[in-house]
Structure 1
Amino acid sequence: MEVNPPIAIILLNESGRSTANQLQALFPEALVHGLTGRVEQADLSFQQTALHLQELFRTKTPIIGICASAILIRCLAPVLSDKLIEPAVVAVADDGMNIVPLLGGHHGANDLAKEIAAALKGHAAVTTASDVHYDIALDSPPEGLAIANPQHLKSFMGALLSGGKIKLVGHHDWIAHSNLPFSDEGQLSIEITTKSRNGNDHSLIFHPKTLSVGVGCERNTDPAELIELVKTVLDENHLSPLSVGCVSSIDVKSDEFAVHSVARHFGMAPRFFDAEQLEKEAPRLKTPSDVVFAEVGCHGVSEGAALAAAGEKGSLIVAKNKSKRATTAIALAPMPLNSEKIGSIQGKLSVIGMGPGQDPWRTPEASSLIAEATDLVAYGLYLDLLGTSIAGKIRHDYGLGEEETRVRAALDLAAEGKNVALISSGDIGIYAMATLVFELIDREKQTNWDRLEIQVTPGISALQAAAARAGAPLGHDFCTISLSDLLTPWEVIERRIEAAASGDFVISFYNPVSLKRRTQLHAAKEILLRHRPKSTPVIIARNLGRDTENVSFVPLVELDPEKVDMLTLVMVGSSESQITETNSGNKRWVYTPRGYAGKMDISTLKTGTQE
């Protein structure tokens, strides 16, 4: 299922900050994109306005530009091509009083402009002819209704605006309640039907999404087989694929790739029912099966799922059809189906690294997954750092030391059919929760956990953040070592420090100290001093990416473990690591040479230019 990117609110100057704040309150999932050097705080920053806008447009991201219309027009002109697939682009004045839908008027821009105008008490300058004359945009039907022949809209609208009348076949409130000129003798026609039809320049076909497709299959069925079965059954019964409003099955198939593939083929996510829910449909089944009941606990999967999704007033219009390893059935609902409110989804667990805490250091993928989630599981401080981006979501706060409890809760919530985000600072795969997720799944073999969709997304680790703030200390081979002996015996840690020290790796020490552990960093310092110079630079990085961030350098011999706390990462350079300075602000930098200088010397020797 294609997921639309969150709205991008483009802020070019602080003069539009108040309007940007109001827009983000109106659209909580939206991200403020700020121009570097002119905008102080933003969810995402950019440096080149035209290139950034063009990239957003190419990825079909809805754009609200708090700027002059001309800026958006000039920036986006080079990438304009197909009006049928362009995203919504809206220009909003700094004060929010004038709102102009520029592109994608019938792909959400007109409605977006009207919604903004209502919230900001401004004026929406909608100029598309069908909206002005008939208070309807035929190329922008509401959810639950699809147009079959958009290629004929231009000529149809031309005939309509020239005085044509419309004969209406079928019914849909959106069309019936418009100001379109209807007449039983109309030369033009609009038909609302689930049947496959060919429209033309004088006939528009709309398909209500009232068909419920139930599917079942054997484990690891080829997705192509199930997709072809559903397509064939629709075709044989002269039913339009555009009328499919839901694809559903039994919950034991929630992790079946073929089921997800057929739903994705129709542009949606599959929905699932448990055996008890499907068995309630037994009296309405046309082909009940005792064999199926013995196997999964209900007398029919595909017919039962189709009926359950269509609701009590729905009816089975196509009984179970079979292929070699799959089945499908189709029910008709009295009203368009909203699949998101039917049954349950496959539970999803997003395992997210949010970085050190700064919004600009959180990846767009992490922000997107957090926006999609219904439930957030984390140490409470991490959720606080996310600010308004988690408004309206259910928080599940846990304290330090409750890692396993935290992960179990996330897995169990996802197993209930929820979209759960398990969040950690830094990179969640480095000394964090991701490992425990897979360890518990592997160890306990719980069926409901095995069916989950799991996605791990990286975050900027303390290692990367410290290196970036310091310069380039990771220019050559490096490693990380946790000094916490809560889960790893100190003897093992000590051997690893010795090996890394003798191998001359740059070493990042995670968990260097705690309130109870005060000796490990002292011991690590002693080992390192036996292998590298006393002057080796050590980076002490505390609270990276936060207001109280502090990064300092000391020679290895002067490292004082008593001045290090649990919020600090300690990075010790190799014997090759150097400190240099730049004039701007008398800034000091640490870097570890890769060997380019030696390579250049050899190169110049070969060309004969070296004396």
Structure 2
Amino acid sequence: MHKTPAIVILGAASLPTARRIQRRYPQAPVYALQGRVEADIAYADFGATLRALYQSGTPIVALCAAGIVIRSLAPVLADKEQEPPVLAVAEDASAVVPLLGGLAGVNHIAREIAAIFGIEAAITTSGELRFGTCLLNPPDGYALADVEEGKRFVADLLGGEGVRVEGAAPWLAAARLPLREDAGRRIRVSCARGASADELLIHPRALVVAVEAGEAELAAKVRAALAAHGLAEAALAGLLAPMDAMSDAALGSAARELGVPLRFAERAAGETPADWLRRLLPLEERLAGDGLCIGRAAQPVEMARLGRARGRLSVVGLGPGAAELMVPAVRRALDEAEDILGYETYVNMAGPLRAEQVRHCSDNREELQRARHAFELAASGRRAVVVSSGDPGVFAMAAAVLEALEQSIDPLWHAVELEILPGVSAALATAALSGAPLGHDFCLISLSDNLKPWTVIEQRLEHAGAADLVMAFYNPISRARPWQLGRALEIVRGHRDPQTRVVLGRDVGRPAQALRSLTLGELTAEMVDMRTLVIVGSSTTRSFPRADGGDWVYTPRWYPPAGLAPRGESCEKARGDEAAPHHPSGESAT
């Protein structure tokens, strides 16, 4: 399975079964109906959730009646060749029923899940039941030339036609095919393009193209070279390039366009692409092209064993802690990672992780060392992820990673594919929970003086207070800094009325989440700890009762054009006759 499945349940009775399936697929989150059962991700609408997962290509393991799944997905069913695997599993694990995704390996997943519970999967695919293998879904390393022709071919075999096999196809040896030497139909395993009548053509991914450097139309050039030699693009296992071209963007672009891996290897001075391939791979044939060489191996080539990949370092923000508040791009990076680096609390938050993923936990103050370690791993060709809570660019690891890179003269570090993926910061999560206190201009200030002088913090507090900015305080207090929040509040009170609205968010997005709304006059340092995010409103921040007994806190997007509005004055009166027009985006014109 190439993509992490989603395990979807409706009630608490399904959770034990879901957790057993999750142990087989450790990265698979369990989706549970909000308010009915606690799991990894909460959802409000079963049908909408299933359709969204299906349309994103996510395999679905639904612990419920098959009929519910079918009715939920019916409006979005379309291309059979593109659909992900979809299975229904009885909540007591007494049945596993593959429903959709026969060409995506649904029967294979069904057998894996059935094996967990010691039962037989309810396979209903005629060809697979008869022949013991799915001819339309060859194993890794092979690709079917034409699915539609394949369907007709399998139908002929089911109708009684015999078949012969030409070419190396080890997995077919165990199949129960109607083999006859004089059969009119044949299964041909070949890198050549173009199937003849009465033939099922399967391509082994046995072609490797060695290139010297990237160029604008490299993918088209590779396709033309393959076509010129009568070779199928589906037989291409990957591209090989010199180590010194690792950061060449055109190479990566060509590999993505062709949908194949890109690997790098050392090339001796004066060595031609053909000589290079001969040294690295046992090949049956080498075919020259325009600035490239096509090598054909006797068996599918495992590109993971050839040279090395361009390393990738992803610096990600996990959000405040809740799985549903983690952005999808971050989850994908974590799923693809080989190494996870970070403060142990955050590494644990990054789960579920697979057993083979290496965890590198370090102290929260070892940021630069952690960044350097991440580059060392990525420069060796590995996929590393550095995790931060919230957003990696907000008082977190993105700056440390870039600092380590700027200080390095190692060309392999600079050749690493570096990406920084955003997350929901603590300030944004707390603000959303309380309403919209950051609705107008605001600033984020860390009260930690570990990396900057306290005098600088005081100066910024003075200026932010004078500018009437909403302020969000990170790292507000600790055992080593028990007095600094009190001093910060003294400075803020020099610029704010005691009735200024304040929001305290502790462990927002985590099980112990707590939110409190109060005034600046009521706030004391004893109400806050290191796990609390403090938002101090501006002169226009206001609150009003919410239906559940709490308060909504927000800062209007308008601002009085002539001085501050008296507290309690209505929005319309404060805005006067010159209320700012609104753009369609929701941002005010000012």
The alignment's TM-score, normalised by the length of structure 1, stands at 0.88
The answer to whether the Cα contact below 8 Å between 2:311 and 2:383 also exists between their aligned partners in 1 is yes
Aligned to 1:169: 166
Distance 2:50 2:547 in 1: 35
The answer to whether the Cα contact below 8 Å between 1:13 and 1:39 also exists between their aligned partners in 2 is yes
Change beyond 3 A, Cα 1:563–1:60: closer
SS at match of 1:181: coil
Aligned to 2:44: 47
Change beyond 3 A, Cα 1:122–1:347: same
SS at match of 2:53: helix
Unaligned runs of 5+ in 1: 280-291, 294-298, 605-611
SS at match of 2:521: helix
Point out the more displaced range, 147-156 or 537-546. 537-546
Aligned to 1:119: 116
Query: Could you tell me how far 1:234 is from its partner in structure 2?
Result: 1.3
Matched, 1:318 2:312: no
Matched, 1:223 2:216: yes
SS at match of 1:167: strand
CA shift digits 1:285-331 (9 cap, x unpaired): xxxxxxx44xxxxx23x33553455x3x3244214x33xxxx21122
Distance 1:521 1:30 in 2: 41
The answer to whether the Cα contact below 8 Å between 2:6 and 2:30 also exists between their aligned partners in 1 is yes
Aligned to 2:67: 70
Aligned to 1:569: 533
Aligned to 2:360: 396
Matched, 1:61 2:65: no
Distance 1:150 1:550 in 2: 55
Change beyond 3 A, Cα 1:155–1:543: closer
Q: Paired residue for 1:365, among 324, 329, 338?
A: 329
Give the AA of the match of 1:212.
V
Unaligned runs of 5+ in 2: 559-569, 580-590
Aligned to 1:131: 128
Matched, 1:590 2:553: yes
Aligned to 1:241: 233
Query: Could you tell me how far 1:129 is from its partner in structure 2?
Result: 1.2
Distance 1:16 1:601 in 2: 58
Matched, 1:263 2:255: yes
Give the AA of the match of 2:258.
F
Aligned to 2:190: 193
Give the AA of the match of 2:401.
V
Aligned to 1:96: 93
Point out the more displaced range, 478-487 or 368-377. 478-487
Change beyond 3 A, Cα 1:436–1:207: same
Query: Could you tell me how far 1:72 is from its partner in structure 2?
Result: 0.9
Q: How does 1:20-35 map to 2 (within 5 A)?
A: 20-35=18-33
CA shift digits 1:70-118 (9 cap, x unpaired): 0111111111112122111111111112111111123211111111111
Aligned to 2:201: 205
Query: Could you tell me how far 1:602 is from its partner in structure 2?
Result: 5.0
Q: How does 1:485-564 map to 2 (within 5 A)?
A: 485-564=449-528
Q: How does 1:2-17 map to 2 (within 5 A)?
A: 4-17=2-15
The answer to whether the Cα contact below 8 Å between 1:373 and 1:420 also exists between their aligned partners in 2 is yes
The answer to whether the Cα contact below 8 Å between 1:540 and 1:568 also exists between their aligned partners in 2 is yes
Aligned to 2:587: none
- Point out 4+ residue stretches in structure 1 off by more than 6 angstroms: none
Distance 1:131 1:554 in 2: 66
Distance 1:305 1:540 in 2: 63
Give the AA of the match of 1:306.
L
The answer to whether the Cα contact below 8 Å between 1:4 and 1:61 also exists between their aligned partners in 2 is no
The answer to whether the Cα contact below 8 Å between 2:211 and 2:292 also exists between their aligned partners in 1 is yes
SS at match of 1:124: coil
SS at match of 2:490: helix
The alignment's TM-score, normalised by the length of structure 2, stands at 0.91
Higher helix share: 1
Aligned to 1:287: none
CA shift digits 1:157-212 (9 cap, x unpaired): 23222221123222312234321112222122221111122344x22111111112
Give the AA of the match of 2:572.
G
CA shift digits 1:496-516 (9 cap, x unpaired): 222211221110111223333
Distance 1:427 1:130 in 2: 50
Give the AA of the match of 2:46.
T
Point out the more displaced range, 232-241 or 439-448. 439-448
SS at match of 1:509: strand
Query: Could you tell me how far 1:38 is from its partner in structure 2?
Result: 2.2
Aligned residues: 567
Change beyond 3 A, Cα 1:317–1:31: same
Point out the more displaced range, 70-79 or 543-552. 543-552
CA shift digits 1:383-413 (9 cap, x unpaired): 2334543533111111122111111111111
Distance 2:104 2:506 in 1: 47
Point out the more displaced range, 186-195 or 479-488. 479-488
Give the AA of the match of 1:598.
E
Aligned to 2:435: 471
Q: Paired residue for 2:210, among 211, 214, 217?
A: 214
The answer to whether the Cα contact below 8 Å between 1:407 and 1:437 also exists between their aligned partners in 2 is yes
Q: Identity rate of aligned residues, in percent?
A: 36
Q: Paired residue for 1:580, among 544, 553, 557?
A: 544
Give the AA of the match of 1:349.
L
The answer to whether the Cα contact below 8 Å between 1:348 and 1:417 also exists between their aligned partners in 2 is yes
Distance 2:337 2:93 in 1: 30
Aligned to 1:306: 277
Distance 2:279 2:255 in 1: 16
Query: Could you tell me how far 1:55 is from its partner in structure 2?
Result: 1.6
SS at match of 1:417: coil
Query: Could you tell me how far 1:563 is from its partner in structure 2?
Result: 4.6
Give the AA of the match of 1:207.
H
Matched, 1:82 2:56: no
The answer to whether the Cα contact below 8 Å between 1:376 and 1:423 also exists between their aligned partners in 2 is yes
Distance 2:489 2:332 in 1: 42
Give the AA of the match of 2:336.
E
Point out the more displaced range, 9-18 or 151-160. 151-160
Query: Could you tell me how far 1:484 is from its partner in structure 2?
Result: 2.4
Give the AA of the match of 2:240.
S
The answer to whether the Cα contact below 8 Å between 1:223 and 1:257 also exists between their aligned partners in 2 is no
Distance 1:148 1:481 in 2: 59
The answer to whether the Cα contact below 8 Å between 1:303 and 1:316 also exists between their aligned partners in 2 is no
Distance 1:30 1:46 in 2: 15
Change beyond 3 A, Cα 1:194–1:502: same
Give the AA of the match of 1:29.
Q
Give the AA of the match of 1:569.
L
Distance 1:402 1:41 in 2: 33
The answer to whether the Cα contact below 8 Å between 2:274 and 2:286 also exists between their aligned partners in 1 is no
The answer to whether the Cα contact below 8 Å between 1:370 and 1:390 also exists between their aligned partners in 2 is no
Distance 2:39 2:177 in 1: 47
SS at match of 2:310: coil
Aligned to 1:284: none
Distance 1:534 1:451 in 2: 54
Distance 1:361 1:400 in 2: 23
The answer to whether the Cα contact below 8 Å between 1:170 and 1:192 also exists between their aligned partners in 2 is yes
